[in-house]
Amino acid sequence: MEDLDYPDTYGAWWGEVNSAIHRGFGLEGVITSRQVRDLGELVKGLPIYAGSVGISHAFAHLVDIGHSRSKFLVSR
């Protein structure tokens, strides 16, 4: 999942609820430039690699689906 607000992400979409829902859909892992929250309550066994950790919820507007990304933005 690519955050179009990156690098100024303002909230986390991946947390306890969305990790459980998407694991139920068969998702095997997540790579996102967004934030992740609810670290203690995430679904066990679902790897989530996120740009940062946050405490706030965020509104997510799905723009596109089914397209692969050739790179993942990582800041040091």
Under 8 Å CB-to-CB from 31, ≥6 apart: which residues? 1, 49, 72
Q: Domain range holding 41?
A: 12-53
pLDDT confidence of residue 70:
56
CA 59 to CA 23: how far, in whole Å? 20
| Residue 66 domain flag | no
List the structure tokens of 5: 């607000």
Structural domains in the chain (count)? 1
pLDDT confidence of residue 21:
92
Per-residue pLDDT of the chain (76 residues; tens, 9 = 90+): 666 666 676 778 889 998 999 999 998 998 887 889 999 999 999 999 988 898 887 776 667 767 666 555 544 4
| Residue 24 domain flag | yes
pLDDT confidence of residue 26:
92
